[in-house]
Structure 1
Amino acid sequence: MKTKDFDYYLPEELIAQTPLEKRDESRLMCLDKETGELSHHHFYELPDFLNPGDCLILNNSRVLPARLLGQRLPGGGACEVLLLIDRGDKTWECIVRPGKHLRKGAKMQFGNGELKAEVVDVLPDGNRMVKFDFDGIFLEVLEHLGKMPLPPYIKEELQDQERYQTVYSKVNGSAAAPTAGLHFTPELLEKIQAKGVNIGYVTLHVGLGTFRPVKEDDIEQHDMHSEYCVIPPETATLINETKARGGRVICVGTTSCRTLESWAQEDGHMEPSAGWTSIYIYPGYRFKVMDALVTNFHLPQSTLIMLVSALAGREHVLHAYEEAVKERYRFFSFGDAMFVS
């Protein structure tokens, strides 16, 4: 298949720049993956489409305030560092700006010098290995100095940083939010559980590769990025019990989907697992464990719209996106949601 097969027209004004005041008042398009039938709702109606005995799998990763704005030393020219992966020993793999001034040996400071850094290596893809120097706990320093690394298509400043976190976020490590989960409130989760739907958690630390466009003409030539994920024992057990009872495994977000599908056995059986995944799901893929998906509306020609198309069929998905544009849905990270079942 060709990358251009997953293109669609999106007016720029439909790219949501800010979250809604109430998380669960976003819109919800329901898509029948077999027939392509569509219906329009609000996210707070999601429990109506869930059945007792289903399980909902949520990604509890928490976004780091991973964007650091500082000065180059000596001289004081502006610089920006975006933390990607903790490589240990106070060293992170990062994206830096301006790259031409931040070669190996370059030094930087952030705040009033409470955080200092040095570029210790330049990687083949242009990323930098940056070693930090600070007193105390790095996460506390980040909370004080760092900003949320919002996607490049969001131009507005985020007033409340918690709005780029899910209400159940717990494990620090993501460079971007698992955005399908942004629609949930504690009250909605309680309502879902009261209906007899079980909730399980996985962790996948979202990397910036999630926003990387597919540049190859043939989708099979795309080199998928790697992300670290964990399936705890209680979640593996919940999934196995749900399947045995005939319930559905419903993933919230492509990150939860990729986590389960990375480690599921061919018959759908789950074992507790942890490690790096670079699973790439596109049409032709046979899902081993996921039955339904809660997801946002994704970028044209992205690996994420390919994953949704693998579940519901390319034609059904592109038709749903055309309808979403026509009905003025809000797109991308702070936008509206789909339930594909």
Structure 2
Amino acid sequence: MDKFSGQKRAGAYLFPPTEPFDARMLDVGDGHQIYVEQCGNPEGAPVVILHGGPGGGCSPAMRRYFDPAQWRVILFDQRGCGRSRPHAEIENNTTWHLVADIERIRAALDIEKWAVFGGSWGATLSLIYAETHPGAVAFLALRGVFLSMQRELDWFYGGGAGHFWPEQWQRFKSLVPEAEHGDLIAAYNRRLFSGDKMLEARFARAWAAWENVLASVSSDGRAGEAPADYARAFARLENHYFTNKGFVEEGQILRDLPRIAHIPGVIVQGRYDMICPPRSAYELSQGWTAGKLHIVRAAGHALSEPGISAELVRVMKDVGAARGRYGI
């Protein structure tokens, strides 16, 4: 049981572990190769999973949100992270490179239309991809919505979330001189890209810890120490994207919602999400009439929150059973 909410742990709602029936490295140009895998039913409804971060990488647990008899599940590590190479690389690594990569995967796997499943940054990328290629998307499943807007960055890196987690916020900002506290994304950028591997690792772990400790509503305030290689890719890529405002114009995702007005979908949002507060999910739902907002009461940001896992599994099972209605 979850000690905070009394719910079952997330794993109790998931399907049993499964192994890929196909795994490959796909050359996407620009010196990048990305890891792609497929699992489940080769004849099932195709769904592509877009992981968070940027820089988080995909995990075996992500396969388990889909009935393996219903779904053909495609996972990949975005440029620079996970098993994709080169590791932690920011050159030729923008939102628009990732959108093009998703289309390369779809073409390589000979898929006409698929469902798109993404959380946090993965929700951002899902929306931008769908708005760019609306004819390729049959259904959108989004979790913990981030719209790549300045107010969202200000909340998380400007002190908003720190009002709820003051000890962890003090730890995060105290690593740089007070004179640099006005722009912590820029302050960390100078150190994450300093060329000093030990300094980069130290600040990468601090960057990752600040986010990880706030991910779950049941967090006790201790994030643990992420492995250096993972933290370096996660922090460098996330900082690179946030420094560049996600490579989109302010408010672009909401502005372009008419392009996906016809695409059905669901938004699953934790009420107490400290990383991506519910305001963005609500605003998205107001502009995207085909998207239904589900607020999970006792949940934060993480995919592994029990209530969020339960709702996503339920939704995807229903969509898989009615795949003909969605054209997949």
Q: Which one has the largest radius of gyration?
A: 1
Task: Compute the TM-score of the two structures, normalised by the length of structure 1.
Answer: 0.27
Bigger RCO (CA 8 Å, 6+ sep): 1
Structure with more of its chain in helix, by fraction: 2
Return the structure number with greater strand share. 1
